[in-house]
Amino acid sequence: CKYNNYVIGCVVMEFLKKRILEDGEIHKGNILKVDGFLNHQIDVPFLKELGKEFYNRFKNENVNKILTIESSGIAIAAMTAQEFECPLVFAKKSITKNIAGDIYLTPVESFTHGTTYGVIVSKQFLGKGDRVLIIDDFLAVGNALNGLIEIVKESGADLVGCGAVIEKGYQGGGDRLRKHGIRVESLAVVESMDHENGTIEFRD
């Protein structure tokens, strides 16, 4: 059974790389656009398979909460939460009228947009006794994940790890988290990109 899960996982990861190569667009400034299937137009059956892969990797960790950040991480986080049969909590980037009471708040710098914003989670939905898996679509320098990790720590919940669909390995965010003892599972790790010739190299 473990062998079958390993084979299925390898197939999913190879298909993900294929989708990145075929559907991804490389832009100046280390920007990889995969909005045709991951974070704008959503390929729901494909993301369901990615959610199953995250489940297979963390299924022995007694996860009872999935945490992500709005908005592009919500789709894959929802698919993952469905596999764990647990709630999904998504951090908001601004205070809205439907957030009442005490909140966790931490600043996050956006690499893509070059701005800093506050990330907010209601204390009602995260606290001691929760075992939290953080899920996001991209991991680059790691600012968003670091912000979510700080919120988990402040809440008193236990962080079991972080999962990213695509990690930009050359920007070092994932490796820095791993050096601090945080488990990071990325389904595809891009080692290098060249926007001039359109090539993408993956980490083995």
For 16-60, the pLDDT digits (tens) are 999 999 999 999 888 899 999 999 999 999 999 999 999 999 999
Spatial distance between the Cα atoms of 92 and 106, rounded to a whole number of angstroms: 11
Is the predicted pLDDT of residue 156 greater than 90, yes or no?
yes
Looking at per-residue pLDDT, the higher value among 200 and 2 belongs to 200
